[in-house]
Amino acid sequence: MHPLYSYIRPLLFRLPPERAHALTLTLLRLAGRLPPLGAGLRALLAAPSHPVQVLGLDFPNPIGLAAGYDKDGLAWRGLACLGFGHIEVGSVTPRSQPGNPPPRLFRLPEDRALINRMGFPGQGANFVRQQLAGRRPPGLVLGVNLGKNKDTPLENAVLDYLSLLHTFAPSADYLTINVSSPNTEGLRDLQARQQLGQLLSALSQERDSLTAIQGRHTPLLVKLSPDLSDAQLDDALQVILDTGMQGVIATNTTIDRPTLTSALASETGGLSGAPLRARSTQMVRRIYQLTGGKLPIIGAGGVMDAASAQEKLQAGASLIQVYTGLVYAGPGLVRSILKAF
């Protein structure tokens, strides 16, 4: 943890989690808009370069910010000042929606964890597209995480994803198909073999058509749940390979509750942070083994420090994403991980 954050974190933790998050995003948005402030952050948090080439893209380093932190693309330029090699905004839905009623975000400091049941709140695709236009921080890889609207019937979900593909393929470096959030009713059913096959086949065909028109290929990734059984994971991976997806993100949050000490452990929603570390690493390792290392993996879940990041890479991940680790370790997390490489 950066020494400065050790003083700031207790103040932030006195605020309700969602309010503290909104305040942080506001400050980071300012850093992205005011060059002197952004330059100061970059100088303070400067980290060694560790370039890696994955998905046909050049990443300045393997550490990225997971979707969910900057849902509406408000602060990604400021977040880039923290040293991330890539940032994934979203999840974005075609139309704006409020998400689930608050309270919907909970800190579990005793467990170094969060529980969220946000439900894809956001301003919608057109708003986010506008936030992504214009200046791009040098070298940064930008991804967009795609989700369906809550009121879109599951049988029509493909229409939401196709709409989002058209909106963001021209501007994003890669797109992630989110079929694994536990906070939109029925969404995780799309991971089943038949449903996933229909969805990804349609997206793959449409992406190829866009590539022919635009002359620009946008990699498609699929974000998977840590709660899949071995058989379900095998099925999902076979579909992902058969439909020509470029990679997977392992994993989303879990609805399982391992042994936790916090009084908030019984809150419903997706659990993230340190308690997810072993499960997500195990899934990264299994995906790597099942695919013979041919399918790029972004490891996410319980990356709280350099050791947990290295663990994901050793299990077979090519890239890492953090979210909850940033809440607990602060803005120096990327620098501390990269310095340990």
Catalytic residues: 181
In this structure, are residues 239 and 193 in contact, taking their beta carbons and an 8 Å threshold?
yes
Measure the N-to-C terminal CA separation of the chain; round to a whole number of Å: 17
Dump strand ranges (E) for the chain: 52-54, 57-59, 63-65, 86-92, 105-108, 113-116, 141-146, 174-178, 220-224, 247-250, 270-273, 297-300, 319-322
Place of tokens 């392992």: 250
**Residue-wise over 286-316: b if at least 16 C-beta within 10 A, else e?**
bbbebbeeebbbbbbbbbbbeebbebbbebb
- Residue 201 phi/psi, 5-degree rounding, is -60, -45
Token reading at 76? 């990604």
How far apart CA 30 and CA 26 sit, in angstroms, is 6
| C-alpha to C-alpha distance for 205 and 280, rounded to whole angstroms | 30
